[in-house]
Amino acid sequence: AWDTQDRLASGSSDGSVRVWDMNTRKEIKTLWYHSDRVNSVAWDGQGRLASGSNDKTICVWDTESKKQIIPEERNSSYIARYI
Protein backbone atom coordinates (compact mmCIF):
# COMPACT_ATOMS: atom_id res chain seq x y z
CA ALA A 1 0.00 0.00 0.00
CA TRP A 2 1.31 3.48 -0.93
CA ASP A 3 1.02 6.56 1.25
CA THR A 4 1.32 10.27 0.43
CA GLN A 5 4.99 10.48 1.47
CA ASP A 6 6.38 8.04 -1.14
CA ARG A 7 6.36 5.18 1.33
CA LEU A 8 5.26 1.66 0.52
CA ALA A 9 4.02 -0.78 3.16
CA SER A 10 4.17 -4.51 2.60
CA GLY A 11 3.03 -7.50 4.61
CA SER A 12 5.34 -10.48 4.97
CA SER A 13 4.99 -14.21 5.50
CA ASP A 14 7.02 -13.94 8.72
CA GLY A 15 4.30 -11.77 10.35
CA SER A 16 6.11 -8.46 9.92
CA VAL A 17 5.00 -5.27 8.22
CA ARG A 18 7.75 -3.47 6.35
CA VAL A 19 7.79 0.19 5.36
CA TRP A 20 9.92 1.24 2.40
CA ASP A 21 11.13 4.67 1.26
CA MET A 22 10.55 4.52 -2.46
CA ASN A 23 12.84 7.50 -3.14
CA THR A 24 15.84 5.59 -1.78
CA ARG A 25 14.39 2.10 -2.38
CA LYS A 26 15.36 1.11 1.17
CA GLU A 27 13.45 -0.45 4.03
CA ILE A 28 13.02 2.15 6.78
CA LYS A 29 10.91 0.32 9.37
CA THR A 30 9.95 -3.19 10.37
CA LEU A 31 6.86 -3.54 12.56
CA TRP A 32 6.19 -6.72 14.55
CA TYR A 33 2.87 -7.83 16.04
CA HIS A 34 1.41 -10.69 14.03
CA SER A 35 2.22 -14.36 14.54
CA ASP A 36 1.32 -15.42 10.99
CA ARG A 37 1.39 -14.10 7.40
CA VAL A 38 0.28 -10.48 6.94
CA ASN A 39 -2.27 -10.41 4.10
CA SER A 40 -3.33 -6.78 4.02
CA VAL A 41 -2.03 -3.30 4.79
CA ALA A 42 -3.67 0.11 4.35
CA TRP A 43 -2.66 3.71 5.15
CA ASP A 44 -5.15 6.20 6.59
CA GLY A 45 -3.50 9.34 5.12
CA GLN A 46 -2.31 10.58 8.54
CA GLY A 47 0.68 8.30 9.08
CA ARG A 48 -1.26 5.42 10.60
CA LEU A 49 -1.06 1.99 9.03
CA ALA A 50 -3.47 -0.91 9.51
CA SER A 51 -2.42 -4.52 9.04
CA GLY A 52 -4.41 -7.75 8.96
CA SER A 53 -3.06 -11.27 9.29
CA ASN A 54 -3.85 -14.97 8.98
CA ASP A 55 -3.57 -15.03 12.79
CA LYS A 56 -7.01 -13.33 12.81
CA THR A 57 -5.74 -10.05 14.24
CA ILE A 58 -5.78 -6.47 13.06
CA CYS A 59 -3.27 -3.90 14.23
CA VAL A 60 -3.17 -0.14 13.68
CA TRP A 61 0.28 1.40 13.88
CA ASP A 62 1.67 4.87 14.42
CA THR A 63 4.53 4.45 11.97
CA GLU A 64 6.59 7.34 13.35
CA SER A 65 6.83 5.87 16.85
CA LYS A 66 6.46 2.23 15.71
CA LYS A 67 3.81 1.86 18.43
CA GLN A 68 0.65 -0.18 18.12
CA ILE A 69 -2.37 2.05 18.49
CA ILE A 70 -4.88 -0.76 18.33
CA PRO A 71 -4.08 -4.43 18.52
CA GLU A 72 -7.58 -5.80 18.05
CA GLU A 73 -8.89 -9.31 17.53
CA ARG A 74 -12.64 -8.99 17.44
CA ASN A 75 -13.99 -5.46 17.17
CA SER A 76 -13.68 -4.88 13.42
CA SER A 77 -16.47 -2.24 13.35
CA TYR A 78 -14.40 -0.06 15.72
CA ILE A 79 -11.32 -0.50 13.53
CA ALA A 80 -13.28 0.43 10.40
CA ARG A 81 -14.42 3.68 12.04
CA TYR A 82 -10.94 4.50 13.31
CA ILE A 83 -9.00 4.44 10.04
pLDDT digits (tens, 9 = 90+) for 13-48: 999 999 999 999 999 999 998 999 999 999 988 888
Better-scored residue on pLDDT, 4 or 40: 40
CB 19 within 8 A of CB 27: yes
The reported pTM is 0.78
Return d(Cα 42, Cα 49) in angstroms, integer. 6
What's CA 5's distance to the chain center, in Å?
15
In terms of Cβ atoms closer than 10 Å to its own Cβ (0-12, 13-18, 19+), residue 69 is middle
Average per-residue pLDDT for the chain: 84
In the prediction, which pLDDT does 3 show? 83
In the prediction, which pLDDT does 76 show? 53
Better-scored residue on pLDDT, 79 or 52: 52
